Amino acid sequence: MATKLNKKALEHARSLVKDGKVVRDTRDDWSEHAPSTDQENAYIEKHGFPEFSKWHLGLDPDESEGTKGSVSFPFGDFKKVHRCAVISLESRAAQHDHDDIAKAAKDLLETIDAED
């Protein structure tokens, strides 16, 4: 897999955390808090794909640009960073040897937890 760290998304996530736009939920909450397909499509329609991609720490250049398949590792609900999403994506990134994404997620999680 050629998934790479989406640096624009990481900057976006750090900015949201700095501004206090964080949901401090627990690990298993992401399955309930993740945006639905309809919510994703509505966001893309309203804001465009480049804005949608800022909510994903993974970019796959082997996939068609501007498609949902080209982004992975979501970290929020289009308003706030969800702690549970960051925990989930760190674990999945590490499992699939996406070390740069896993490290970015770990650092982001440490920043979120330091704000408590």
pLDDT in tens, the chain (116 residues): 589 999 999 999 999 999 999 999 877 889 899 999 999 999 999 999 999 999 999 999 999 989 999 999 999 999 999 999 999 999 999 999 999 999 999 999 999 999 76
Secondary structure class of 57 (helix, strand, coil):
strand
State the pLDDT at residue 26: 79
Range of the domain at 99: 4-114
Nearest by Cα to 25 from 89, 102, 110, 86: 86
Q: Is 22 exposed, middle or buried (0-12, 13-18, 19+ CB in 10 A)?
A: buried
State the pLDDT at residue 27: 72
State the pLDDT at residue 116: 61
What is the total count of domains within the chain?
1
